[in-house]
Amino acid sequence: MQINCSDRNANATACSAAFTSLREKLAREVSGSAMLSELLEKLNGMQETCARPADFKVRFDEFVARAAEHRDIVWPFLPQLMRFLPTYA
């Protein structure tokens, strides 16, 4: 099955919106520039792979592991991010 252009555009828009909101929240609420920088780096890695579910899963796992101490910030965004994980039948 081939995805048409409008499907790709919709997925790209959803991907961008999910990451923009989380990026803004992290920038406002994470203290410590080194931690913020590391979380944003992992977040960028997830965003780069959101159209490739298998690659996204690796980046998602890395981000979640690193963001554990900031779970109160990250937790509300997880359902939105989990949409980009691979589905297994």
Domain extent at residue 48: 5-82
- Cα separations in angstroms, 35 against 27, 29, 55, 78, 88: 10, 11, 23, 19, 33
- 37 part of a folded domain: yes
pLDDT at residue number 64? 93
What is the spatial distance between Cα 50 and Cα 55, in angstroms, rounded to a whole number? 8
pLDDT greater at residue 1 or residue 35: 35
In a domain, 17, yes or no: yes
In a domain, 30, yes or no: yes
Q: Is residue 87 part of a domain?
A: no
pLDDT tens track for 20-69: 999 999 999 998 899 999 999 999 999 999 888 999 999 999 999 999 88
For position 1, what pLDDT does the model report? 33
The answer to the question of residue 89 being in a domain is no
State the total domains in the chain: 1
35 found inside a domain:
yes
pLDDT at residue 51, rounded to an integer: 86
Predicted local distance difference test score (pLDDT) of residue 86:
87
pLDDT band at residue 10 using 50, 70 and 90 as cut-offs: low
